[in-house]
Amino acid sequence: MENLWQQIDALRSEIGSITTTRPEEIEAFRIKYLGSKGAVKQLMNAMKEVPVDQKKEAGQLLNDFKSFVAAHYEQLLASVPSEQESTTIDVSLPGQPFPLGSRHPVTLMKNRIISIFQRLGFAVAEGPEIEDDWHNFGALNLPPHHPARDMQDTFYIQQNPDWVLRTHTSSVQIREMEKGKLPIRMLMPGRVFRNETVSARSHCFFHQIEGLYIDEQVSFADLKQTLYFFVKEMYGADVKVRFRPSYFPFTEPSAEMDVSCFICSGDGCPVCKKSGWVEILGCGMVHPNVLSNCGIDPEKYSGFAFGMGVERPAMLKYGVSDLRLFSENDVRFLQQFAAAT
C-alpha cells in the first residue's frame, strides 16, 4: 500500500508540472496517462497485489488519482486557442473576387437574331409552351388527321389529349393575328418540343424564332429581301444562300432557305450531311385559310412567315459540331463563350 501511495504521489507531481497548448503534446499526454497501456491502467492492474483489507482504501486512492489526471487533461484541452483566436485577419486586404458567369450560346444567338430583325421594325411576342389543339394545329391549316399530329412527332398532355407541348411558336402567330391589330410585324422566340431522336443534329426540345409580317400588298419579294438582309448581317456578305421549294400547310408558296456550311467550308461534314449546305429556316406566304381562321380578310391582306431554330445558327456561328452540347450544361463548354456577345 505504501508503495502504491508513493507511485501516485510521484505521478501527481509529474502531471501537475505539465503545461502545453500544442494539440500533439496533449494527445501524447492522454496516451501516456489515460491510454489502454497508460499509467492509470497499470496502477489499476497493480490492485491485485494489494492485501484484501486495504483494497477499499487503495481503490478510493486510485479513483481520486484517475479523476485528477482526467481533470488535468481537460484543462490542457481548454488551453488550446480556437482557430478564430489563432488566425489574424487583415480586414484592409481586398476581398476575393467572385467569378463572373456568361450568357449561354443559345441566348447569345437568340438575342443577336432578335436585334437584327428589330432593326427592320419587328417587335417581340411570346406565348405559352403548353398549347391547345386549335392554336397549335387547327388554326394553322393542319387537319385532324395530318401526320404532324401523330404521337410519334408530338408530346401530348396525358390528362388532356387536346393539349400539347407546342411543336412550334407558330401558335403565338395565331394569338397575335386573333387580336386583329393590323399591320403585324412580330418575332416569336421560345422553346418548342418534338418527339425526335436525340442526335448531333436534332433534339426533343430546342429553341425557335418565328417571324410574321402581315399588311396590304406584301409579296414573296419582301420575304426574300428580309431574309437576305438577315443572313448577310448574321454571317457576313460572303455567305452563299439558296431557296428550295418546299411545303408547309400554313404557307403557300413555301420554301426552305440554306446557307453554305461554315464548319466544313462546303467540303462536307456530319452537320451538313456531306452536302456543304445547311438548312437554317423555312418560310413562305401566309396561307389564305390561316388568315381567314384568324378573322383577317385574305382578299385585302397578305403576309409572309418564317421560322428557324436557334441552335443550328449557333452551331454555324460558333463552330459547334454537336447540338447536344447546348443542353448538357458542361461548364468547360460554356466557359468558352464568356467573351462572346
Residue 110: C-alpha distances to residues 94, 105, 339 (Å): 38, 9, 16
CA torsion angle for 41, 43, 44, 50 (degrees, to 10)?
Answer: 170
Note whether 306 and 227 are within 8 A (CB). Answer: yes
Alpha carbon distance 78, 21 (integer Å): 9
Per-residue pLDDT of the chain (341 residues; tens, 9 = 90+): 567 777 878 888 888 888 888 888 888 888 888 888 888 888 887 777 777 777 788 788 888 888 888 888 888 888 877 654 445 677 888 888 887 778 899 999 999 999 999 999 999 999 999 999 999 999 998 888 777 677 657 888 877 778 999 999 999 999 999 998 999 999 999 999 988 888 877 788 999 999 999 999 999 999 999 999 999 998 888 888 999 999 999 999 999 999 887 767 667 777 677 788 888 899 999 999 999 999 999 999 999 999 999 987 888 778 888 888 898 888 888 888 877 66
Instruction: For 183-202, give one letter per residue: b (16+ CB within 10 A) or e.
Output: ebbbbbbbebbbeeeeeebe
Whether pTM > 0.75 for this model: the answer is no
